[in-house]
Structure 1
Amino acid sequence: MRLSQGQLNLLERCPRQFQHTYLDGIASPTSLEQQERLSSGSRFHLLMQQRELGLPIDAIVKENEQLQGWMNAFTEAATEILTPAPDGEFRESEHCRTLQVEKYLLTVIYDLFIARSDTCQILDWKTYPKPQDRRKLAQNWQTLLYQYVLAETSEYLPEQISMTYWFVQSDDKPQNLTFNYSNTQHQQIEKKLKQLLLQLTNWLKRYEIGEQFPQVVEGSKTCNYCQFISRCERRSTKRSDRNFEADLSEQEYSTNTLPLLANIQEVIIL
């Protein structure tokens, strides 16, 4: 079974939703707003890939005012990243790596990978505003898995690895968050990953004999944003006050939007 960071996020957040989505094959409907966000993100990723390959992008940018604004602002804010070093640097857009862990094939795709003799950097483009809580992004499986797989599949030490997210849709100008890696983190992630995969193995065995994956606890906010709330016989606990609106926005960015946008270029095969 091939697993991406988006699937690990979903499995950890709600095993039953993972089952319905990837094992039962139940389609997940998306709103027009979600479709537009995904489409915009996909276009920007494609634009950045073509730019890195040296292909012309002027015609594409001129046809889309939003893309043109994002690209102009990003080019100005990230000059050092977008300008290749003269020598001793390997760069690749949509760089793919896989790591076999027991019967699972972990797959990562870096929007841009830059490797030098003593350091390497993973870069990821996000077309939504910079999140307020850095800790949630630090614990997201995209951050964890991307750095872990690189350390396991290269000769770089964990301390030589970093990952930077660029958020092009920010108020004033594109902003970024960088996460430096370490051997301590690597060991912690390995333990956490193996525990999650062991749980998945056990749930799959039970699923084969007719048992369903576990659900989140009754009353969890996760159910409020899940398309399977009726199928799971759960009731929404949504509130109509401002606090709920803040919770909804945070949930969309930290659990739904982030994995979806990160998976734009990934095709998951079970």
Structure 2
Amino acid sequence: MTGKLRLSQNHLHLLETCPRKFQETYLDGLVSPITWEEEENMAWGSRFHLLMQQGELGLPIQGFMAEDRELQNCFLALVKAAPEVFSPQNNYSSGEFREAEHYRTLGFGDYVLVAIYDLLTATQNEAKIIDWKTNQRLVNREKLANNWQTRLYLYLLVETSDYPPEQVSMTYWFVRLRGDEKPQKITFVYDQQQHEKNYRDLTKLCDRLSDYLHQYQRGEPFPLVAS
């Protein structure tokens, strides 16, 4: 194995929940089949993320919405529910930074932590991560708080910027609607205690991965967790 292994939220989640599946997916290249419904949901989510990225870049988005009425309805509902998210292009307050599909990395021991933020906005006093959730159900807040996406994204932003944890937040917008539903959001405000816990847990997980990799190179598979 050459170079440092890059670890995303998906890597961390799988490593923690089922090390053997981590091995099969990321080391052995085995891909589990997905259902037609899962494939459709992934395709719709990709279209929504591309729509939001195009809009943030000031590119035309009418074509996207003309081809997909559900996409149009969800986008317009989000604009109405979250006007603060949709700042006019090139009319930001002085010193504000905004970028869709913002990519960040951090060397972490033998590994590189990676994240792609759907939208990152930052001023002198605060930075906000925004993530578009395109599944059709609201995720439990506690479950989302413990999810490695939330933990990694917040940790990584603090470690790669000058913001203290208390000036960083992450908001999930659940945008795919059913019936008369409105977009819903869940926001997490970070703090130093959470940051230190994330560091400790990341260190333990990466140390565990190193042990698994050493065993794997000797022909021993990653542990199998009983479901």
Tell me which interval the TM-score lies in, with the shorter structure as reference length.
over 0.9
Residue 125 (structure 2) pairs with residue 125 (structure 1): no
Return the alpha-carbon distance in structure 1 between the equivalents of residues 195 and 132 of structure 2: 23
Residue 199 (structure 2) pairs with residue 193 (structure 1): no
Return the alpha-carbon distance in structure 2 between the equivalents of residues 25 and 8 of structure 1: 17
Residue in structure 2 matched with residue 45 of structure 1 by the alignment: 49
Q: 2:191 aligns with which of 182, 189, 197?
A: 182
Residue in structure 2 matched with residue 202 of structure 1 by the alignment: 211
Residue in structure 2 matched with residue 262 of structure 1 by the alignment: none
Counterpart residue identity of residue 173, structure 1:
K
Residue in structure 2 matched with residue 109 of structure 1 by the alignment: 116
2:174–2:184 Cα contact (<8 Å) kept: yes
Instruction: Map 1:213-252; keep pairs closer than 5 Å.
Output: 213-217=222-226, 220=227
Note the residue ranges of structure 2 that are not aligned, 5 or more in a row: none
2:126–2:168 Cα contact (<8 Å) kept: yes
CA-CA distance at 1:132 after TM superposition: 4.7
1:123–1:164 Cα contact (<8 Å) kept: yes
CA-CA distance at 1:27 after TM superposition: 2.0
SS in 1 for 2:103: strand
Does the C-alpha gap of structure 1 residues 116 and 168 become closer, same or farther in structure 2, counting only changes over 3 Å?
same
TM-score by length of structure 1 reads 0.79
SS in 2 for 1:37: helix
Residue in structure 1 matched with residue 75 of structure 2 by the alignment: 71
SS in 2 for 1:75: helix
1:114–1:121 Cα contact (<8 Å) kept: yes
Counterpart residue identity of residue 60, structure 1:
F
Q: Alignment RMSD, CA only?
A: 1.1
Return the alpha-carbon distance in structure 1 between the equivalents of residues 27 and 210 of structure 2: 13
SS in 1 for 2:34: coil
Sequence identity (%): 52
Return the alpha-carbon distance in structure 2 between the equivalents of residues 142 and 39 of structure 1: 20
Counterpart residue identity of residue 14, structure 2:
L
CA-CA distance at 1:49 after TM superposition: 0.1
Residue in structure 2 matched with residue 34 of structure 1 by the alignment: 38
2:151–2:198 Cα contact (<8 Å) kept: yes
Return the alpha-carbon distance in structure 1 between the equivalents of residues 137 and 107 of structure 2: 32
CA deviations on 1:106-130 (whole Å, 9 max, x unpaired) are: 1100000000010000000011234
CA-CA distance at 1:215 after TM superposition: 1.1
TM-score by length of structure 2 reads 0.93
Residue in structure 2 matched with residue 254 of structure 1 by the alignment: none
